[in-house]
Amino acid sequence: MISADKYELYPGKPHPIGASIDRDKGGVNFCLYCDESVFFVELLLFKQHDDLQPDQVIRLDPLVHRSFYFWHIFIKGLPESSYYAYRVDGPYQPQRGHIFDKHKVLIDPYAKGISRSLWRREDACRPGSNLHTSMRSCIVPLTDYDWQGDRPVNHPLNESIIYEMHVGGFTRSPSSNVKHPGTYSGLIEKIPYLQKLGITAVELLPVFEFDDSHARYVNGRKLVNYWGYSTVSFFAPHSGYCVNPHAAGPVDEFRDMVKALHKAGIGVILDVVFNHTDEGNHLGPVYSFKGLANDSYYFLVEQSKKFYFDYSGCGNTFKCNHPICEKFIIDCLEYWVSDMHVDGFRFDEGTILARDENGTLVAHPPVVWGIELSETLADSKIIAEAWDAGGGYLVGSFPGHRWAEWNGVYRDDVREFVRGKPGMLGVLAGRISGSADIYQDQNELPSNSINFITVHDGFTLYDLVSYNHKHNHANGEDNRDGADHNRS
C-alpha cells in the first residue's frame, strides 16, 4: 500500500480494463491500455463534473502500476460517481504515428459515463493543456438498478419488423405531446404508438455519447451534429438524450427505456459505429484513442503516419482487427447486452470490420468471428451494413454465417419495380422470396437478408415518392451529400 493525501493507493490489477467498483474492498480499480512507448500516466480525480481543477493528481509508477501495456491502480475509499481523466506522456513523433502530449486531458475509452459540461472542442485540436475545457469520465455504479426481471426480447429475425428511429428527433416536435421531447423518457411515452404499428423492434440511430455541441454556421444558421455517427465514447449512453445528463443519469434513463420497450414486447437494436471515431484526421481533436495508442487504434498512412487512412469517409478508420481493438469492440458489445439488455446491433459500414491490419478484406477477420462466436452475444441480432466508403461491398458474402445484412439489392430492385421499370416482375419475385441468388450459394438463409425500402441513408419514404432528385441545400454541403441514385 502507498499512502496518499486523500486515499489509500494500491498497485491494482490489469483487468478488467476501465474503472471497476469493488465494494468488497471498498474502492475502484483503474486500468488503461497505452502504447508501449509511453513514459508516464497521470490519473486526475475530480469531485464534480464541472470542477476546473482535479481534487488529486496521481502519477502512476511504471515499476508498480504497469503490466506490459496496461497501467493500473486501486484507490480505496474513492467515492462512487467520482469523475476522472488521464494525462499520458510519450514521444511526439507524428511521422511515426506518435502524438503524445503530456498536457492533454484524455477520457477513458471504457468509461460508462462522460461529462461534456466544460468541453470546448477547439482546445483539443491544438497542442497544450485543455484542463479547463476537457471532458471527464465518470465512475458509474452498475449493480444497483432494479431490472424487475427484464431480459432481452430477441424475436427471431424471420419474424422481425424493425422500425429505425432517431431518439432525439422522434419526439422533438411539439406535436409529440411528451413531457421531455428528444429524450429516452420521451420515447417511453410513445410506446403505445409503436405498438399500434405492429413492430417487433426499434433500431436506434447512434446512442453512444457524441458531440452534439460541435457547430458550424450556414447562412447565419447554427448547425450541430444531429445524427450521432461520430462516436466520442462507446460505453456511455448519449447524455444529450437525458433529463439528468450527469453521473448515472444516462445509464439509468437508457435502462428505463429498454425495460419499458421490453415490457411492451419491443426489442432494442443499436446502430453502432465502430468503423471510425470522432477524433477525425490529423486536424481533429485529441481526447482519447489518439493520445493513448494512436498507431494501435487507427489506420495510419505508412509513408507518413501523421495522416490517417480513410476507409470510412469520415476522417479516420478504426483498426478493428488489431488485438486491442478487437477486444475493445467485443467488450463493448457484451457490455450493452449484459448490463444494458439490448437485443442486437446494426454495424455501420460493417465491411470495415472485415479489413485486416493492412486494410485488406479477409475471409476470417478476428473481430467478425469473435462477435459471431461470443456466447454472451449468441442470442443477439448482428446486422451488417455490408459496404464501406473504401469500395468494400460484401452483400451476400459478409464473413460469418449468422450475420444478417442490409440488402441494398432488395431496396434498389423494389424501387425499380414500383416506379415501373420493365422486366422487373421476376426480379421482384426473387427478392420477396429471400434473394436466393445472393444468399443460397453461401449456404445462408432468407433471414440473412434485412429487406428494406428506405432508411436514414438517401431518400426518406416521403422523398421517394415526391422528388426526382435530392435537394440537400440547407446543410451547406451544396447538394453533394447523400446518394444520387435514389430510383425515385
Strand partners, 381: 344
pLDDT in tens, 75-108: 999 999 899 999 999 999 999 999 999 999 999 9
What pLDDT score does 1 carry?
A: 45
pLDDT band at 435 (very low <50, low <70, confident <90, very high): very high
| Mean pLDDT of all residues in 389-418 | 96
Query: Do 379 and 427 touch, CB atoms closer than 8 A?
Result: no
| Mean pLDDT of all residues in 424-453 | 95
Strand partners, 3: 8
Domains, in order of start, for the chain:
2-138 (2.60.40.10), 157-464 (3.20.20.80)
What pLDDT score does 215 carry?
A: 87
What pLDDT score does 476 carry?
A: 87
- Measured from the Cβ of residue 383, the count of other Cβ atoms closer than 10 Å reads 23
Indicate the helix (H) or strand (E) that contains 275: none
- Taken in order 158, 160, 162, 167, the sign of the CA dihedral is negative
pLDDT in tens, 238-268: 999 999 998 889 999 999 999 999 999 999 9
Residue among 233, 237, 269, 271 nearest 252 (CA): 237
pLDDT band at 126 (very low <50, low <70, confident <90, very high): very high
| Mean pLDDT of all residues in 109-131 | 97
> In whole numbers, what is the pLDDT of the chain averaged over residues?
96
| Mean pLDDT of all residues in 274-303 | 98
What pLDDT score does 71 carry?
A: 98
Whether the predicted pLDDT of 299 surpasses 50: yes
Indicate the helix (H) or strand (E) that contains 165: strand 162-165
What pLDDT score does 117 carry?
A: 96
Q: Is residue 184 classed as helix, strand or coil in its secondary structure?
A: helix
Marked catalytic residue, from 343, 385, 388, 444: 385
Tell me the three-class secondary structure of 99-117, residue by residue. EEEEEEEECCCCCCEEECC
All three cell numbers of 202: 426499434
Query: Do 187 and 250 touch, CB atoms closer than 8 A?
Result: no
Whether the predicted pLDDT of 418 surpasses 50: yes
Alpha-helix runs per DSSP H in 199-339? 249-263, 289-297, 323-338
Whether the predicted pLDDT of 280 surpasses 80: yes
Whether the predicted pLDDT of 2 surpasses 50: no
Amino acid at 261: L
Query: Do 407 and 449 touch, CB atoms closer than 8 A?
Result: yes
| Mean pLDDT of all residues in 416-430 | 97
Residue among 383, 373, 321 nearest 352 (CA): 321
Query: Do 47 and 83 touch, CB atoms closer than 8 A?
Result: yes
The contacts of residue 484 (CB under 8 Å, 6+ apart) are 469, 470
Tell me the three-class secondary structure of 234-264, residue by residue. EEEECHHHCCCCCCCHHHHHHHHHHHHHHHC
- Give the whole-angstrom CA distance, residue 394 versus residue 109: 29
What pLDDT score does 3 carry?
A: 45
Active site annotation includes 123: no
pLDDT in tens, 324-382: 999 999 999 999 999 999 999 999 999 999 999 999 999 999 999 999 999 999 999 99
Whether the predicted pLDDT of 385 surpasses 60: yes
| Mean pLDDT of all residues in 161-168 | 97
pLDDT band at 4 (very low <50, low <70, confident <90, very high): low
- Give the whole-angstrom CA distance, residue 225 versus residue 119: 15
- Measured from the Cβ of residue 151, the count of other Cβ atoms closer than 10 Å reads 10
| Mean pLDDT of all residues in 299-318 | 96
Active site annotation includes 357: no
Whether the predicted pLDDT of 5 surpasses 80: no
Marked catalytic residue, from 209, 326, 348, 349: 348
The contacts of residue 414 (CB under 8 Å, 6+ apart) are 428, 431, 453
- Give the whole-angstrom CA distance, residue 317 versus residue 388: 11
Alpha carbon of residue 233 to chain centroid: 7
pLDDT in tens, 216-242: 898 889 999 999 999 999 999 999 999
Give the orientation angle of helix 323-338 with respect to helix 289-297, to 10 degrees.
Answer: 120
| Mean pLDDT of all residues in 270-299 | 98
Residue among 107, 136, 110, 135 nearest 123 (CA): 135
Query: Do 200 and 266 touch, CB atoms closer than 8 A?
Result: yes
Q: Would you give the DSSP letter of residue 298?
A: B
pLDDT band at 14 (very low <50, low <70, confident <90, very high): very high
Q: Would you give the DSSP letter of residue 318?
A: B
All three cell numbers of 60: 502512476
| Mean pLDDT of all residues in 31-50 | 97
Query: DSSP letter string over 400-467?
Result: SSS-EEE-HHHHHHHHHHHTT-TT-HHHHHHHHTT-HHHHGGGT--GGGEE--S--SSS--HHHHTT-
